[in-house]
Structure 1
């Protein structure tokens, strides 16, 4: 390339959300005009078409082909790429979808659900045949109303009475089992390291913790409950640090995620507290590192890959027009060295 040559910038394509904003309508309305799926009044159609022309919006070629078939793509919404729990679920999903000829598009949930994301454009343009969501159900409700014909399945969080089928374990009972194990080991001051209770599973595990204490006639002490800022290891360290500051620290900790439990153990070690001799630590999930960490983590095991595989089977049933009932899979208490 000569010194005088110039690299011409690639023009940025307008998104469907930009068209909606210019026309003063919702993204769903733009999608209806472009795909002809529902009647739209003449004035609205004219505004949308004018915005499309002015912005140079081009519908994806794949979207234009949808009238003739399907994309064979499924979208998986993941809350946190750093958490190995979600990676294991995706492996389970992929074990089913690969055999059925479907590809996966993995997207970060909060970005996808933001107003101007490319993934959200794809959903409105029906560039995915269906969605497996590992995110909070509450975050999905607006989309479920706007795209009612797109099949969804919730994985990891039990949705209950929703029309969206889900695959989960009984989080409340699993927490009861975890705390009862600690009680049976002689612990009476048991702390809880929880996650944001915007997550249904976090609320259910918290409820199970309190139920187990009350059933054993042990007090529920608010100062022993710490809500971590997230579920990464560092958040476990932070939350455990607050417990260490108590005048009467707990003799055992139940963490609602293995990542929080491992972070707590690291915090205890830094101040010379031995696990499990000085403080027992119980985790939740049984992520791969749980058995190789020192001390190996006593935890509640979720059948993580089975959750993903079952969610994929449910979604494929929905795509085939078959009944798809929610499933509760079995958990197990895994006793190792930390408690």
Structure 2
């Protein structure tokens, strides 16, 4: 029994050098057979494969990848783990990368971009083959300049003057559609709950809001525009509270994120304002909770998982040496009970 146990331990820890010695070839030849990087004659290949079988050798996948100059890992930069919108995008990314043999490392964007970040070190050391970024792209420009050959793809957030491919919807047109729906329902005083306009999508949605009002000959009232401190539910509650304090509060609210819209509804309820009877609320994103929240949220639906899947496909195409062009996916207006 002891002899068999020792052999089992030996085979479990067999090294590539042991395989080479057993087969009577060099380590480089074993590597060529295992990785298929160069042609090896049939007799040599058979000896190596026999040695692998006899010793029970299992090549380390990460080591093989590093020998080929890749890790089979992709980094996804997420601005806010608490926001279900980003979680749905990551699910879309994972659906593609899993099928193609890639693993994901999910990192919080602001921490990753800080100078003492371990995730940032991994980028400099090329421990990730590429990056899918959901973060504000302006924050990434210095990093893109320092690591120019690392493949990047932007998802939802992007900048016009960058050669980094992106996948997104037409945020401006989607906002126009949302506000036009409220106008068609007879609303004249429509408020905007916006997010930090460091995000390009937030600026585009704000621009769409203003365009729709001007097209309807309704003057822009700055006091009806509130920029939330973040996109969590509580920030929607806080921003909506400021609207409630107005002498002439709005009859409708367009929020640039479902989380802000749901927070606003909670704030309105606390002071006895009914939705949609007293104030209509329109969201944006169509996160899973939007259809089960009461009242169910009227919103702009982004094809969230499709955005993530498309971003992953763009990145894999870049990694394969192909050219990647930016994509714009379709959005949809989902009418429910809140507006």
What is the rounded CA distance, in whole Å, between the counterparts of 1:89 and 1:130 in structure 2?
Answer: 17
Are the counterparts in 2 of residues 131 and 153 from structure 1 also a CA contact under 8 Å?
yes
Correspondence 1:118 to 2:138: no
Are the counterparts in 2 of residues 299 and 333 from structure 1 also a CA contact under 8 Å?
yes
Q: Deviations over 1:87-124 (max 9, x none)?
A: 00000000000000000000000000000000000000
**What does residue 326 of structure 1 align with?**
326
Are the counterparts in 2 of residues 76 and 133 from structure 1 also a CA contact under 8 Å?
yes
Are the counterparts in 1 of residues 210 and 220 from structure 2 also a CA contact under 8 Å?
yes
What is the rounded CA distance, in whole Å, between the counterparts of 2:159 and 2:114 in structure 1?
Answer: 22
**What does residue 94 of structure 1 align with?**
94
Mapping of residues 186-335 of structure 1, within 5 Å: 186-335=186-335
Secondary structure at the counterpart of residue 259 of structure 2: helix
What is the rounded CA distance, in whole Å, between the counterparts of 1:294 and 1:70 in structure 2?
Answer: 48
* Structure 2 gap segments, 5+ residues each: 1-60
TM-score by length of 2: 0.81
1:222 to partner: Cα distance: 0.3
1:160 to partner: Cα distance: 2.4
Any runs of at least 4 consecutive aligned residues in structure 1 with deviations exceeding 4 A, and if so which? Answer: 61-65
For structure 1, which segment, 248-257 or 156-165, has the greater mean C-alpha deviation from structure 2 after superposition?
156-165
What is the rounded CA distance, in whole Å, between the counterparts of 1:120 and 1:158 in structure 2?
Answer: 20
1:177 to partner: Cα distance: 0.3
Secondary structure at the counterpart of residue 249 of structure 1: coil
**What does residue 68 of structure 1 align with?**
68
What is the rounded CA distance, in whole Å, between the counterparts of 1:199 and 1:99 in structure 2?
Answer: 31
**What does residue 177 of structure 2 align with?**
177
Larger radius of gyration: 2
Secondary structure at the counterpart of residue 226 of structure 2: strand
* Structure 1 gap segments, 5+ residues each: 1-60
Report the number of matched residues: 279
**What does residue 148 of structure 1 align with?**
148
CA RMSD of aligned residues (A): 1.4
Q: Deviations over 1:192-251 (max 9, x none)?
A: 000000000000000000000000000100000000000000000000000000000000
What is the rounded CA distance, in whole Å, between the counterparts of 1:323 and 1:130 in structure 2?
Answer: 15
Secondary structure at the counterpart of residue 266 of structure 1: helix
1:156 to partner: Cα distance: 1.1
